[in-house]
Structure 1
Amino acid sequence: MTMPQTDGVEFASRNNLENGDGDQVRSQWVAIERSPTCKRITTALFCKRDEQGKRSQRRVMDVSKLEDLDRRLFIDELIRHVEDDNRVLLQKIRTRTDEVGIDLPKIEVRFSDLFVEAECEVVHGKPIPTLWNAIASKLSRFTFSKQEDKISILKGVSGIIRPKRMTLLLGPPGCGKTTLLLALSGRLDPSLKTRGEVSYNGHLFSEFVPEKTSSYVSQNDLHIPELSVRETLDFSGCFQGAGSRLEMMKEISRREKLKGIVPDPDIDAYMKAASIEGSKTNLQTDYILKILGLTICADTRVGDASRPGISGGQKRRLTTGEMIVGPIKTLFMDEISNGLDSSTTFQILSCLQQFARLSEGTILVSLLQPAPETFELFDDLILMGEGKIIYHGPRDFICSFFEDCGFKCPQRKSVAEFLQEVISRKDQEQYWCHRDKPYCYVSIDSFIEKFKKSDLGLQLQDELSKTYDKSQTQKDGLCIRKYSLSNWDMFKACSRREFLLMKRNSFVYVFKSGLLIFIGSIAMTVYLRTGSTRDSLHANYLLGSLFFSLIKLLADGLPELTLTVSRIAVFCKQKELYFYPAWAYAIPSAILKIPISFLESFLWTMLTYYVIGYSPEAGRFIRQVLILFALHLSCISMFRAIGAVFRDFDVATTIGSISIVLLSVFGGFIVRKPSMPSWLEWGFWLSPLSYAEIGLTSNEFFAPMWRKMTSENRTLGEQVLDARGLNFGNQSYWNAFGALIGFTLFFNTVFALALTFLKTSQRSRVIVSHDKNTQSSEKDSKIASHSKNALPFEPLTFTFQDVQYFIETPQGKKLQLLSDVTGAFKPGVLTALMGVSGAGKTTLLDVLSGRKTRGDIKGQIEVGGYVKVQDTFSRVSGYCEQFDIHSPNLTVQESLKYSAWLRLPCNISSETKSAIVNEVLETIELEEIKDSLVGVPGISGVTAEQRKRLTIAVELVSNPSIIFMDEPTTGLDARAAAIVMRAVKNIAETGRTVVCTIHQPSIDIFEAFDELILMKNGGKIIYYGPLGQHSSKVIEYFMSIPGVPKLKENSNPATWILDITSKSSEDKLGVDLAHIYEESTLFKENKMVIEQTRCTSLGSERLILSSRYAQTSWEQFKACLWKQHLSYWRNPSYNLTRIIFMCFTCMLCGILFLQKAKEINNQQDLFNVFGSMFTVVLFSGINNCSTVIFCVATERNVFYRERFSRMYNPWAYSLAQVLVEIPYSLFQSIIYVIIVYPMVGYHWSVYKVFWSFYSIFCSLLIFNYFGMLLVVVTPNVHIAFTLRSSFYAIVNLFAGYVMPKPNIPRWWIWMYYLSPTSWVLNGLLTSQYGDMEKEILAFGEKKKVSAFLEDYFGYRYDSLALVAVVLIAFPILLASLFAFFIGKLNFQKK
């Protein structure tokens, strides 16, 4: 039997090889069959190819050792035209298995009477998480007064998902599609209450591992941004293993040998390479890249919001590929087409259909807007509404079912759109087909009852009532092992990835090491030769240098916390998929950081040890390295554990700061062990810093150079250690080292246990009351063709000629993304910008709108006949971005109000603005969620499709003359997309210029456009002109090209156009469509029209605006302050945590230093008081600085969008951001005075209380504003956190605590004056004791307190006025720098 050939790809026949090399192949095959089974399974006849496609002779090769190029070229030749060749490949594999009588495993999924309920909290008023609501919620846990309610998500649904068939899941947003997919795949959140039964081949979830038996493709694209697309798929494929492929391959090989069958060499090589388990790279990855169209970006890093990477559509395909790269044959796929053009969606689903039919897969896919061609690929259909299944049966019969119910799908109407609209109260009536009978709304429950009584419904109930016959199917398809790989292989794979991520983040580690060298160089010169003088005073300074070393290495571990939290979401996803257990992730994370810890400890010691003047013995140098290494290792382990336990940036950062406080104050330096309350001494023994302090001090002060005997018959070293309570004997060094290693093991164990047992962080959703929902569902939206509150605007024509755009590649070459693009956007004309993914649609919009921040733009762009002036253009245009970026803590209505406030002219009254906002809310159908928080995508707030509509509404309220919309219907279901496009059409009809990029338009949406610009890869136009009635003009143009296939009846013209203009179709036709367009009459006519349009526009007046912004500076500031106030008040995770931290720090200091300030008798009493001040100032500041970074970073992307729209001057925004911090800092300062002042026992007087309050207040502002400044001068939070750690080290070193001012070398004294903490501590201590004339015993001599402060610390009471001025000058300076840099720097790469 000779197998079919495709596109010139030669396949050897199976039983008699007819091509020329048949005898050679047969003889080589005989040699393979003689090999042992284990070797035969990985050995195949492989034909190497070079990059030009030339084939060498086939030879016997181990396919587990194929090189990357060999795999890529092999797949490229095996699959040239994806849909056709993929079908041939799967057919050949199926034929091979059939010939030897092997039945493929298959799975039937049944679910019966499935109920899913969620518990939610009931609050009075708006369910918005304000600071007060958060406090009330916390208190309710203790008072048991919390009210809870239940929401039903799925309501008794039943059905069967059959093998060899592909099932489509349709329904409006919120109907329960995602919950159903999660329930069937065994991935429902345990907090949800579930009733009913789900079985695979009659087996319940308890009998196998559903997470390994089925794959769930999520809506959310969670990936590690540092990995490339290929690496992401390789990693997923490695952990999913080969499943039953390996055993099946062994059985096929055995049976073929018995029957004397010689298989097709290419198919044999493919199947053997795909069945290899645990390999670093796999042929299956190249196959998935090919069928998903990801080969073009295979080696591109995934990227994220702050790092360039692949596009949104490519990321969506990667999420799909990550799940289907494994052997699993039961797929539950949630909205996999978001961001994809209809042609790409059709191609992917065609491959999945072939997989289902030829490999007996079981597939359930939910889609939002399937094109007719895509819709027809499905065999079965499930239609849902209100958590119930309305129809479940063959796709072919659904239209007849609704006709029996009285509703008919019109011609040229997508059936998928019809189905989603016919169950909607607002849209149902238009489909009523019984004109002789009055229309009456048919509810979802009525449809369900009619379906149950239909033949299909009765048949389904009959099948579900029968017990599944388990003997019909093999149990091979069900996975009973949690993990596909052995423990050792999982460990190796995780280690490989962790090492790769460390290489990708090498800049961070190099940068950290550079900063450590920088800080170490400062420290060694500040403490230069301090240890050369042997007395109590210099011993105190030496202790300060050791403490500083410890604090530096402690804080150096903080970036590990942010790194852990940033990766926790991806880890949780992969853990839930049973890629690997938590220990396989935790152990490599710990082990691979050991060299980093050792390097940093060695660098620090090498820089500081001999320069400062520690004991010169080489052994003591090595022992100091070991102690610092053990401390650093334990600290980064601690921060990893904190990140794994708390998993929220704000909360984890606050807990990290609390840990630093606890470790520091109990570390034996700030508070001496003898000075601690006896009932708190356990804190000393639980602090790793204590053991590090013991180890370092014993290593130093038991050295020969400290053995000078004192008058008390003790060595000087022992006297110093006794004074500090650190004298535990010479042998204490190794005890301390062992304790630090023990802490490291303990924290890593906590890290692993937290990853293992703690649940993924819960997602919060907006809760709308049932009454409000009911009112909303009964409310009919009435969209007028013209705005009731229409505002005057200037109609503008937008023309562009020969536009080119180049970017520079990392190799230094110029890459052209747009090539001689010419066109015009006219008032009142709705223009569609279409093309396959990667054609340059978004790039063109960004270039034309002036939003590109890099690259070289050439060509002529004019507005109203005049060269575009960006400042003016930004005022009169709107841009709806593809990625919906909004402030998370505003409500939907407030987001629109804010946009209208700043973008509408100042002569428009507030009442008119409010009316416009309300009208847009109604037009875009956002009225029912207007009081809902926007939230964070994928975590909280409104849904993805509601967020998309909000993006459009925010631009509409600005009354623009020209509107650019980048994929306004992506992520929307058919009904929501129709709502949006009706609104967009209405806008265009008012005379505005509207341009939309669009991916998957339905027939109605596509034909709502007046003109079309069609692009191909390389940024070239292949059609620009009118659509015509029923798309007649564009169809006529492409049909005139020889070889173009005809449009099928009732097919979607948009899908047909994308299909015939794809690269594979161009290759088939052997034409360049861009060249055909440039040679066409249409192109010449367009050039003439564009020139005439320009000339006509030149007759009008040039648009000139009086200012860059619509509002005055005062109004800009008021609007920004209003927004920032709401954002802060509704952000309890930021504000409540820092308030709690302040209370904790103050209480801790109050307890440790209880009444220490009452009586000052010696220098140690002053040091204790000074330590309490130092603790509160430094650590409350550190926490404020750390937490504000995330808060400001979240809003920075929103700021970039708003700045492009010229909503406000950056100074107005920054001033509001600065001022909104003041009330919270005031409150924190009041907490300090209320708690610390009486507990420590400071002197009560209005003057002294004010000085304490004022100093702490300025300190908090300084740290807050410095954190904000770090955000705007760095590209991402990881670098900001790394710089922050160095800042802490510097302000600690020059604070005057570890090294007093008089002892700082003169070449570093300027740093003392630049350190804000030195002035804060000066103000706090001097205001309390600078006027005290009492005599105390200081280092053996009597001195007045005021004199000691001046001699030891350099503090003078008469300098307090200067201190007051400097303290307020610091926050003003930092706030000004923040305002300056936020206006000048832009790290958003477009």
Structure 2
Amino acid sequence: MVPKSNTHRKEFTLQNLCVQVLSKKDQQQYWSRTEERYSFVTVDQFCDKFKASQSGQNLTEELSKPYDKSKGHKNALSFSIYSLSKWDLLKACFARELLLMKRNAFLYITKAVQLGLLAVITGTVFLRTHMDADRVHATYYMGSLFCALLLLMVNGFPELAMAISRLPVFYKQRDYYFYPAWAYAIPSFILKIPVSLVESVAWTSISYYLIGYTPEASSFFRQLLVLFLIHTVSLSMFRCVASYCQTMVAGSVGGRMAFLVILLFGGFITVSGVTLGRRILIDQELDFSRYFYWISIGALIGFILLFNAGFAIGLTIKNRRMVLPFTPLVISFQDVNYYVDTPAGPESLGQGYFDNELDAWVGLRKDGYICSCQVASRSNTSTVEPEWKMVKEKLFLKVPERQLKSARATLAYMGNSNFCLVEFLLREGVEFKYTFGDRDGCVLQMSMFGLKYDRKGELQIMRHRTNSIAIPGVPRIKDNYNPSTWVLEVTSASMGVDFAQINDQRGLFTILGCMYGVTLFTGINNCQSVMPFVSIERSVVYRERFAGMYSPWAYSSFAQVAMEIPYVLVQVVLFMLIAYPMIGYAWTAAKFFWFMYTMSCTLLYFLYLGMMMVSLTPNIQVVSILASMFYTLQNLMSGFIVPAPQIPRWWIWLYYISPMSWTLNVFFTTQFGDDNDRMIVVFGETKSVTAFMRDYFGFRRDLLPLAAVALAAFPILFAVLFGYNISQLNFQRR
């Protein structure tokens, strides 16, 4: 077949000719055998005809001969999938990453300026001239350290958005064998080290002496090193999350889950009471030796290496599935019971108590020593009895001749490896026969202490405090009467205090911290989750608004805003069904519905806040920076780390415009603000829960209606601002 020159005088390219000759529609016009009837010639028929021709046979014969490699150039064949050596690839990726960082210099400068501003705010909130060396202010010093660590962790959220935005280009270039994943991951890690250093230096230099930490230079540089490493860990962690999640929606979920683990297990939200100096560290479960600082430094470096290795692995294994060479088998057990034989050991007085932290039973020996017996493992098949441990310090029967013979000492368990030993002693010069009755002849001695194992595995006492109280008119203990009940009745009647109503300070702060942590996390979770969707939908809204399909207010106020309400209500119901009974809140109708109202308003204003911030910014990277600053301010000005009465006057306005402060106000007031009968011991003082809420947090029951109205105003305000911004602002570039 050839073109008919008398009918087709156009110039043909080889490509056009091939397309038309092989097409059923155009092939007939090239049919040159006029004496034969036309029939369509397929591609396979063309191939067979070419192979049968002389040219095809010559080509086949030439290709069948082995190629003599000695005649070829040494660079004619490539033995590597990459065009450059590993070192050249690494240098090229370094240059590429540096160029991208220069292009995004505005984002890094904005983050540094934002961090400096937050350092000024935090330093002036915890200003050293307003901080004394007492029990109450010791809590604020610990809160300032927690705030710094949390801020630098939250500061890594923008890294998640920037890493995800680069992934499509990376995967395309990786699949074309431009460079391997490790060559991309190493520069991403190393070139971010100066960023972490600059931001940690900015924070520490501004806030350290404003807050009033110890002025030694060594302490300053130690804190700087920790903050630098924690910021590097944060950036590495969010890059690692980005490599596995790969989209902003999934990345937001993964980043929030990682942040939740750090928030809950960081050791601050569920805390105990504090005193001074080393006692603060002991009560905060931070009673470690000095060398643990360097162990912590090593652990942070290990996390940095781990997250960056995970980042490189995640970039490498994308689009690869691991097929298990076996069928997974799941086995479940029901009604499984086990027991541990009581080993032959020293006889104890009264009931033993099992402590989860020690993983042992604790009791009081007859000779006055505290002993423990570790529990055998469930899977342990050894016949060796568990080993007994005994403290070296004697707590009971220190003065044997003064011990009452009719009353035995009582060991009470207070939780979290804390115990209370109660014993009755004769007063000086009082005979035993005159002890009971109306005379003041008995002394109640209470020893409160904690137990832990030291580095050698020995049981030791910590936080030991002893108080003695004179008890007049002690009645005799009845036969077969519980000594603990007798002690409680005697002390309550003689002192006029119902000890059954006194709760531990640690328990109250734990439940308040849990309420604070859950509220903050669920709010951040909602705010982060809505941002990618609104950012994607905004470009569609611009196009449809320009086409005149609907009003921007119809989209923002009636569609986008309204559809979030059922979603939030489902979240609240699920949370209430699971978390409310597990945490142990009061089961009264008023407190239950107050909790639902507060949780609904909180989740709504976080959602609408995320939508509003997206409408104010041009892209998801900028909104991530703005959101991280908002999260930090919410954490600082919520009224939990620094209560309202302790916030300086020049920052109190920031407390009142913070939505989280009103959330905690309604939460704490409705759950605990009416407990006038319950007594707690906080910072060495005994007061009612209501008085503690009023004096420490500044939450008053009579101002609850105002707090409830203010809480409802925030979601309305953010929703209106979102609608206005969508209708007035346009960040579309094309």
Establish whether TM, by shorter chain, passes 0.5. Answer: yes
Q: Distance in 2 between matches of 1:1341 and 1:1185?
A: 40
Counterpart-to-counterpart distance in 1, 2:78 and 2:501: 73
Give yes or no for contact 1:531–1:613 (8 Å, CA) kept in 2. no
Q: What is the deviation of 1:1296?
A: 0.8
Deviations 1:513-547 (A, max 9, x none): 11111111111111111785212211111100110
- The answer to whether the aligner puts 1:376 opposite 2:13 as a matched pair is yes
Whether 2:81 is the aligned partner of 1:482: answer yes
For residues 879-958 of structure 1, what are the structure 2 equivalents within 5 Å? none
TM-score (norm 1): 0.37
User: Taking CA–CA contacts closer than 8 Å with sequence separation of 6 or more, which of the two structures ends up with the larger relative contact order?
Assistant: 2
Please give the secondary structure, in 2, of the residue aligned with 1:471.
Answer: coil
- The residue number in structure 2 matching 1:1270 is 613
Match among 1174, 1182, 1193 for residue 516 of structure 2: 1174
**Alignment match, 1:665:** 264
1:1299: Cα distance to partner?
0.6
Q: 2:598 aligns with which of 1242, 1255, 1261?
A: 1255
**Which residue of structure 2 aligns with residue 577 of structure 1?**
176
- Residue identity matched to 1:378: Q
> Are 2:20 and 2:26, in contact at CA under 8 Å, matched by a contact in 1?
no
Q: Once the 2 structures are TM-superposed, how far is the Cα of residue 585 of structure 1 from its aligned partner?
A: 0.8
Partner of 1:730: 290
SS at match of 1:1336: strand
The amino acid that maps onto 1:662 is: V
Where do residues 1014-1093 of structure 1 align in structure 2 (5 Å cutoff)?
none
Equivalent residue in structure 1 for 2:100, among 473, 479, 501: 501
Deviation at 1:759, TM superposition (A): 2.2
Query: Residue 709 of structure 2 aligns to a residue in which SS?
Result: helix
CA distance in 1, matches of 2:697, 2:10: 81
Cα distance between partner residues in 1 of 2:657 and 2:44: 82
**Is the contact between residue 402 and residue 408 of structure 1 (CA under 8 Å) also seen in structure 2?**
no
Shift of 1:1363: 1.7
Where 2:15 maps in the other structure, the secondary structure is coil
Aligned to 2:229: 630
Number of the residue aligned with 1:754: 314
Aligned to 1:544: 143
Code of the aligned partner of 2:290: N
Q: Does 1:1301 align with 2:638?
A: no
Tell me the CA shift for residue 408 of structure 1.
5.2
Within 5 Å, give how 1:257-656 maps onto structure 2: 376-378=13-15, 381=18, 397-398=21-22, 451=42, 454-459=45-50, 468-469=63-64, 471=66, 479-529=78-128, 532-656=131-255
Structure 2 CA distance for aligned equivalents of residues 722 and 1296 of structure 1: 25
Q: Secondary structure at the match of 2:586?
A: coil
Rate the CA distance shift 1:1159–1:1271 in 2: closer, same or farther, 3 A.
farther
- Do the aligned partners of 2:189 and 2:308 also contact (CA within 8 Å) in 1? yes
| Equivalent position of 2:714 in the other structure | 1370
What amino acid maps onto 1:670 in structure 2?
I
* Matched residue SS, 1:1337: strand
1:1389 equivalent in alignment to 2:708: no
Contact 2:501–2:679 (8 Å) recurs in 1? no
Contact 1:527–1:612 (8 Å) recurs in 2: yes
Partner of 1:1006: none
Aligned pair 1:1355/2:699, yes or no? yes
Quick one: which amino acid aligns to residue 1359 of structure 1? Answer: L
Query: Which residue of the other structure, out of 566, 588, 600, is the alignment partner of 1:1223?
Result: 566
* Rounded Cα–Cα distance in structure 1 between residues aligned with 2:653 and 2:13: 76
Q: Which 5+ residue runs of structure 1 have no aligned equivalent?
A: 1-371, 382-394, 411-432, 438-445, 676-700, 702-709, 711-715, 762-1151, 1153-1157
SS at match of 2:78: coil
Match of 1:1197 in 2: 539
Q: Where does structure 2 lack aligned partners over 5 or more consecutive residues?
A: 1-8, 322-415, 417-499
1:1308 positional shift: 1.0
Q: Secondary structure, in 3 states, of the residue corresponding to 1:1258?
A: helix
Q: Equivalents in 2 of 1:1159, 1:568: separation in Å?
A: 58
Distance 1:1234 1:1240 in 2: 11
User: Would you say the 8 A contact 1:530–1:542 is kept in 2?
Assistant: no
Give the C-alpha shift of residue 1356 in structure 1.
1.4
Deviation (angstroms), 1:1167: 1.2
- Asked whether the 8 Å contact 1:1232–1:1253 carries over to 2, the reply is no
Q: Retained in 2: the 8 A contact 1:559–1:1282?
A: yes
Call closer, same or farther: CA 1:577–1:1273 in 2, change over 3 Å: same
**Cα 1:1202–1:719 shift into 2, 3 Å:** same
| Cα gap change, 1:375 to 1:1370, in 2 (>3 Å) | farther
The change in CA–CA distance for 1:1201 and 1:728 in structure 2 (over 3 A counts) is: same
C-alpha distance after superposition, 1:984-1039 (max 9, x if no partner): xxxxxxxxxxxxxxxxxxxxxxxxxxxxxxxxxxxxxxxxxxxxxxxxxxxxxxxx
Distance 1:461 1:1379, change over 3 A: farther
Q: Distance in 1 between matches of 2:46 and 2:608?
A: 70
Contact 2:527 2:607 survives alignment (8 Å): yes
Structure 2: distance between partners of 1:484 and 1:531: 64
Percent identical pairs in the alignment equals 46
**Residue type matched to 1:1206 in 2?**
G
Q: What are the Cα deviations for residues 1128-1166 of structure 1, in whole angstroms up to 9, with x where unaligned?
A: xxxxxxxxxxxxxxxxxxxxxxxx9xxxxx997133222
| Corresponding residue to 2:278 among 683, 702, 718 | 718
**Deviation at residue 1337 of structure 1 after TM alignment:** 0.8
Cα separation, 2, equivalents of 1:1204 and 1:379: 41
* Match status 1:1234 vs 2:577: yes
Separation of aligned partners in 2, 1:374 and 1:494: 47
Which of 1331, 1356, 1363 is matched with 2:674 structurally? 1331
The secondary structure found in structure 2 opposite 1:1343 is: strand
**Aligned residue pairs: how many?**
535
Cα distance, 1:733 vs structure 2? 1.5
CA apart distance, 1:1389: 2.9
C-alpha distance 518-1250 of structure 1, shift in aligned 2 (>3 A): same
| 1:214-293 matched pairs, under 5 angstroms | none
Letter in 2 for 1:1376: V
The CA distance in 2 between the partners of 1:452 and 1:613, in whole Å, is: 84
CA shift for structure 1 position 731:
2.0
- By how many angstroms is 1:1260 displaced? 0.9
Structure 1 residue 651 displacement after superposition: 0.8
Match of 1:744 in 2: 304
| Counterpart residue identity of residue 623, structure 1 | R
Q: Counterpart in 1 of 2:503? A: 1161
DSSP 3-state at the match of 1:378: helix
Q: Tell me the residue number matched to 2:552.
A: 1210
**What is the rounded CA distance, in whole Å, between the counterparts of 2:642 and 2:21 in structure 1?**
84
- C-alpha separation in 1, matches of 2:646 and 2:205: 23
Cα deviation, residue 653, structure 1: 1.0
Q: Aligned pair in 2 of structure 1 residues 532, 1249: CA closer, same or farther (>3 Å)?
A: closer
**TM superposition score normalised by structure 2:** 0.69
Q: CA deviation at 1:460?
A: 5.5
1:480: Cα distance to partner?
Answer: 2.6
Contact 1:1184 1:1260 in 2 (8 A): yes
Render the CA deviation track for 1:1018-1067: whole Å, top value 9, x for unaligned. Answer: xxxxxxxxxxxxxxxxxxxxxxxxxxxxxxxxxxxxxxxxxxxxxxxxxx
| 1:572 match: secondary structure | helix
Q: Distance in 1 between matches of 2:68 and 2:250?
A: 50
Deviations along 1:694-742, one digit per CA (max 9) or x if unpaired, are xxxxxxx9xxxxxxxx9xxxxx321000001011112222211121111
CA shift for structure 1 position 454 = 3.8
Q: What letter matches 2:637 in structure 1?
A: F
Distance 1:374 1:542 in 2: 85
Corresponding residue SS for 2:287: coil
In the TM superposition, residue 398 of structure 1 has moved relative to its aligned partner by 3.4
520 and 408 in structure 1: CA distance in 2 versus 1, 3 angstrom threshold:
same
